Every structure is written in structure tokens, then in C-alpha cells.
Structure 1
């Protein structure tokens, strides 16, 4: 059932993005009286799952879910229809239209991607509002579980104040900014200092294959005392929070774990918080510094608020308020993704090791259905699709735009033969990128 939910979300999101992107080309093409021969969701290599001709256009669904396309008459594209291009240009063909019309047709797909992302963020702001943790409300610093981050100079309890001169406003900004940042200003026990991050920090993190990086410090909440636990008869109950061991305060789970290392193999006296009461209980610590308990991995914002650990802000937006908020979220995400791409194409950062293909996209969808999460992921994927299509690679929209801009500036149109060769080069580049991204997925699945 988990697979069905994940694959359903993946295919629904992918289909929505592909159809709307291709509509972005289709609509201006039709508006400028350019013939569109095919409109396909997914690729129809050898055969189609469905097709129907309406007017001059064949609409269909292919069997290979790696994208989609519109075939516009008189355009050198992935179809490599050289026979059509060898004939005299017809007034309904793409190549017969003025350069400015062809530019609008080519930019239509990415324009729709960005507009879709903006509309989704506006809608999410209006319907769901925002729940966020102001950075100033993180009083006792962060949990830094990574040995790579420790080596770089970040430790549990540090407060991250600035990254590359930008003040950190909310907790949700921290991880991404630290991953791609150079100069990190921290507050450690009231003393500020600057950490210069290694250029290959992201590469080191991926090579280390560590699960944790930067997260909120959490309380040590007991979820279950198993029947096989050596602390079964201790009096511990579900929901208890250990707040003291042998007289030493343990507000956070990381402090409990540190003290368990000190007292491993010993009996300890703990103080647990149970609702509004505090109860003293004797517990045993194993030689492996364990208590034999099942504890909460992380708590929800609502739980952490109720327990008094963090003060999350909840903000609702009116209909008109949601517009500037949604547009800012889209803008920030676009800028962020450009930064990530820049890091990926800078070999010294090692960010290319994190590039993923369709498996990576599938994995980001949750195993339970949540429309809020679905729309959030779809908005991000729409931005990703828009940005990637703007790359100046022949066979992508950005490649066509590059040649059209050259034509508009120079007044000279690249020859058909040149465009055919450029399309072939671009196609092989795309195949290489797809193989690399999905090869990364396979490598991680086998050796990660």
C-alpha cells in the first residue's frame, strides 16, 4: 500500500507538470497559427497507450514516463524530422514565424512552470498558512550529529546566527544555507565566532553517509518500555520525559545519551516528568549505554510547543495577503535552486554526487497521502523543471532560446544543418545527464 501511495503521488505530480509545461508551448503556438502535430504525455517509443487525432493534432499517452512533448511543424526538435525540413517552408510552420513569436513559443513551457509554482505557493499560504520557528527562539542551540560538521567546527549547542552575511531568520533556512555556505557565524555559550566551511563540505557529508546533520534538540520522550527491557519494572510509562540523571539536568535527549555513556553498566536515579508531576525512578544502564527503551525520534511543532521546548509561530494569511507571500516563497526557491545548480556544476564542491534521477524524485514523496506535502513537492519540482529547461543546452528550451536570441541580435538565422547537429549534440548531453543522475540512484541503492 505504501508503494501504491508513493507511486500515485509521483505519477500524478509528474503528469500534471508535463501536461502544463507542454501546454505552455501549445497555446502560444496555436495563437500564432502554428501547426502542432502531436501532444504527448510520456514518450511513445514504438507505440502509444492511447492516441486520438483531433483536428490537425494527435493527442496521446506514451508508455515511457520520462517526460512528454509537443511536435511543432517546421521545428528541429527531438523528432529529428529532416524530411519535413527539406521541403519548402509553409506559412503554418514554426520556422516561418517571426523570431519574437518563436521565442514566445519556446519560453511558454518554463513560463507556465514558474507561474504554476507561484500559484501553488499562493494557494498553500492561503489554505495552510505558515508554521515556523524563529531562529531567536532556539535558546539552547542546535543538535549537530554529523562528525563531518564537527570536524568543520560545528557542535551541538551552537546557535547559527549568519551565513555569508545573511542573518538567519527561521530554523528551516539553516540546513540548506550551511550546506552551500562559506562563512558561518555562530554563538557558542554567548561568544560569537566565524567558521570558514571547507569547499567540499557537501562532498564530505555524502561520502560519510551519515544520517543526521543539523536538527532541533529534542526531549527524551519514552514511547514504549518493551516486555524484554531490563527496565520493565522500573515504573516508567509511555510519555515520560527524563529530565535528570543522578542530579544532573537533562533537558534534551542528547544530554541523556551523553550521561548514559558516563554511567554505562551502572544503576542511576532519574527524574522523569509525567504530565505536571516529576517522579524519581531508579533505572539500569547497560554496558552499551542503553536503557532498553523505545523513544520518540522527533516531536511535532505542536508537541514541542506544549512541552515548552520551542515557541513556534503560526501565521494565517488572508486572500490578498497570500499573494506577496506566495510570490516571495517562489522567488526564494528559484534563487535557492540556481545556487544548488551552481554548486553541482562546480566539481570542487562535490555536490554532483548528490544528483538524483527519477528514483530520487520518487523517494521525496511520503508514504502517507498529504495534499499539503504533495503540493509543496509539486511546486518545487515545477521550479526545478523550469530552471533546468532554461539551461543553454541544445534540445532543451534554453538551447532554442539561445539560438533565437542570437538570431534576433545578429539578424542571421542559424542554418538547418547546424541546428540538426546542435540538436544531436544536445540530445547526447541530455542522455548523459539522465544516465548520470539515474546511475547515482542505482549506486546509492546498491552501496549507500
Structure 2
């Protein structure tokens, strides 16, 4: 069932993005009276799953889910229809239209991608608002467990003050992504500020360890289920351990240290049960464990216990517009930084480039419209940016040649465009194989 939910979200998001992207080409083509021969979701190599011709356009669904396309008459694209291009230009063909019209048609897809992302972020701001913990309300710093973070110089209890000179106002997942792409992070440790330089190969170091938040809020030791052989049957679910052996253990990481120091001992533990404090004796095993599974209390319970103050902010429709635009702008800039890292060999970030499995894996195994729309908006930005790369066979390649034509007044020959298309196609296939090969490699080695 979990795999079905993930697959459903993956296909729905992908289909939505592809159809709207191709509509971005289709609509201006029609407005400029350019004939569109095909409009396909997925590729119809040799045959189609579904197809129907309406007017001059054949609409269909292909069997190969690697994207989609519109086939515009008189355009050198992935169809490589040389027979059509050998004939004299017709008035309804792409090549017969003024350069500025062709430029608008080619930019239509990425324009829709960016507009879609901003609309989604505006809608999410209106529908869900923001829920966060203010950075100023995190009194005892963050939990730092990732080995790459520890190696870079972070410690549990560090309070993150600024990332690349920008003050951190709230704790959210964006903060972790900003750390990944940062050059410097200012932290406060024991009342003193310190600047940590993020190593160039930080992304590569992170990939060698299990994924998760780099910095997270510190949690209390709340008891979940007992293990089958637990020696501490006097503990109950939702008990919160306040101290061990007379030492305050406000957070789980502090409790771990005390337990490690008291292996194979019976020690007193002060616990909070049903809003009442009591003391019980607990047995620590040889591994420094109590024989219990920790429980995640949730932010609402943590606020009730006085650990954190949860801040919420709701927006009217008008207020949602600048909030959504700002969110979209931040994501766009962030993805641009990620691409820059990927193309910089020193960062080794290219090792983390993923294909369809990587995209599939970011969808959760439970259905959440909030998460679905958040991922779809990010993927829309990624699709728009990737298509703008100046690679022949991508929209950006066509735009590059059209800009050259507009500026110079000279149109590249059809033969040149055909050769460029072939080079771009080979390059795209190579990138596709590399990205999906990375997925396979990670699946084999478990990273």
C-alpha cells in the first residue's frame, strides 16, 4: 500500500508538470497560428497507450514515462523530421514565424513552470499558513548528530545564529538546506559566537551517512513501547525522564550520556507521568539502554511541557501573495546554488545527482496534500531551470539560437540545427544515464 501511495503521488505530480509545461508551448503556438501535430504525455516510441486526433492535433499518452512533448510543424526537435524540413516552408510552420514569436513559443514551457510554482506557494501560504519555532525560543541549541556536521565543527547545544551572513529567524527544513549550500555558519556556543567554515566537499561527506536533518530541535526522553525483554516494566508509555542518577536530563541526548556512564547499574530516575513527578529505580543494561523505544511527543506536547513555543501565522489571500512569491524566489535561488555546486568538481556534489528513483523517493508513503504540493512546486522550479540550460534539444538550446538570430540578424542553417540537436540529444541521454546510474549505484552500495 505504501508503494502504491508513493507511486500515485509521483505519477500525478510528474503528469501535472509535463502537461502544463507542454501547454506552455502549445498555447502560444496556437495563438501565432502555428500547427501542432502532436501533444503527448510520456513518449510514444513505436506505439501509444491512448491517442485521439482532434482537428490537426493528435493527443495521446505514450508508454515511456520519461517526459512529454508537443510536435510543432516545421521545427527541428527530437522527432528529427528531416522529410518535412526538406520541403519548402509553409505559412503555418514554426520556421516561417518571426523570431520573436518563435522565442515566445520556446519560452512558454518554462514560464508556465515558474508561474505554477509561485501559484502553488501562494496557495499553500493561504491554505496552511506557517507553523514554526522561532530561533530565539530555542534556548539550549540544536541537536547535532550527523557525522559530517560533527566533523565540520558543530556540536549538540550549538545555536545557529546566521548562515552566509543571513540571520536565522525560525527553525524549519529550509534552514538545513541552507546549511548544505552555505560557505559559513555562525553559531553560539556557551555564550560565545564562532564562525564555522563549511568544507567544499560537505555534500559528498553528507552522502556517506544516513539522510536526515542536519540540525534538529532537542527532544526529551519520552518512553514509547517497552522491548520484550525490558528490565524496566515499572516505566510506562509517555513517561518523560527528567533526571537520571541525580543528574538533570532535560533532553534525550543528555540522558544517553548518563546511561552510558552507568552501564549494568540500577539508578534512580525522576519521571513525569500524567503531569505528576515521581521517582523510580531503573536498570541500565550492558549497552547503556533501558529497554524502551523513545517516543516522539510532537510539537504540541512539547509546547505544553514548556520545551518550545510554537508560533503560527495565517494569511489572507492578499497577504499570501507576497509570502508565496518570496518562498518561490528563495527556492529558485536555492536550486540555482545547488546547480552551481553540482558543476563545481571540488564539492563532489555531482555524485548526488539522482534520476527518477531519487525523485520517487522524496514522496512520502502516506498521502499529504501539503507535502505533495510542496514537492510539486519544487519539481516545477527544477524542471523550469533545467529546461533553460543552454543545451541543444532543451528549450534553453532553442532559446540560445533564437537570441543569436535576433541579435545578429542571421538564422542558423537547418543543417547546423540538426547537428546541434543530435549533439544535445546525445548529451541529454548521457546525463540521464549518469543520473539514473547514480540511483542504481546508491541502491547497490546502500548510500
Map residues 42-57 of structure 1 onto 2, 5 A cutoff. Answer: 42-57=42-57
Q: Does 1:323 align with 2:293?
A: no
How far apart are residue 136 of structure 1 and its match?
1.3
| Distance across 1 between alignment mates of 2:118 and 2:370 | 15
| Distance across 2 between alignment mates of 1:174 and 1:14 | 27
Backbone CA RMSD of aligned residues: 1.2
| Distance across 2 between alignment mates of 1:210 and 1:22 | 34
Q: Does 1:188 align with 2:189?
A: yes
| Distance across 1 between alignment mates of 2:200 and 2:59 | 48
SS at match of 1:133: strand
Map residues 253-268 of structure 1 onto 2, 5 A cutoff. Answer: 253-268=252-267
| Distance across 2 between alignment mates of 1:399 and 1:382 | 19
Q: Deviations over 1:235-290 (max 9, x none)?
A: 21110011100111111111111111111111111111113211101011111111
Q: Deviations over 1:18-64 (max 9, x none)?
A: 00000000000000000000000000011100001110000000001
Matched-pair contact (CA < 8 Å) for 2:176–2:213: no
SS at match of 2:317: coil
How far apart are residue 414 of structure 1 and its match?
0.8
TM-score (norm 2): 0.97
Structure 1 residue ranges, 4+ long, deviating more than 6 angstroms after superposition: none
| Distance across 1 between alignment mates of 2:212 and 2:102 | 48
SS at match of 2:290: coil
Matched-pair contact (CA < 8 Å) for 1:201–1:349: yes
How far apart are residue 140 of structure 1 and its match?
0.5
How far apart are residue 302 of structure 1 and its match?
2.0
How far apart are residue 135 of structure 1 and its match?
1.4
TM-score (norm 1): 0.97
Q: What is the match of residue 372 of structure 1?
A: 370
Q: Deviations over 1:203-243 (max 9, x none)?
A: 112134565632111111111123421212xx211100111
Q: What is the match of residue 159 of structure 1?
A: 159
Structure 1: which 5+ runs fail to align? none
| Distance across 2 between alignment mates of 1:183 and 1:332 | 18
Q: What is the match of residue 423 of structure 1?
A: 421
Moved more, 434-443 or 21-30: 434-443
How many aligned residue pairs are there? 445
Structure 2: which 5+ runs fail to align? none
| Distance across 2 between alignment mates of 1:306 and 1:382 | 38
How far apart are residue 83 of structure 1 and its match?
1.0
SS at match of 2:365: coil
How far apart are residue 363 of structure 1 and its match?
0.9
Q: What is the match of residue 271 of structure 2?
A: 272
Q: Deviations over 1:97-150 (max 9, x none)?
A: 011100100000011111111111111111111111221111110111022211
Q: What is the match of residue 411 of structure 2?
A: 413
Specify whether residues 210 and 318 from structure 1 end up closer, same or farther in structure 2 by C-alpha distance, changes over 3 A only. closer
Specify whether residues 94 and 384 from structure 1 end up closer, same or farther in structure 2 by C-alpha distance, changes over 3 A only. same
| Distance across 2 between alignment mates of 1:300 and 1:106 | 47
Matched-pair contact (CA < 8 Å) for 1:74–1:93: yes
Q: Deviations over 1:339-361 (max 9, x none)?
A: 11111111110111211111111
Moved more, 25-34 or 163-172: 163-172
Q: What is the match of residue 97 of structure 2?
A: 97
| Distance across 2 between alignment mates of 1:402 and 1:300 | 51
Map residues 7-406 of structure 1 onto 2, 5 A cutoff. Answer: 7-172=7-172, 173-209=174-210, 213-232=214-233, 235-296=234-295, 298-406=296-404
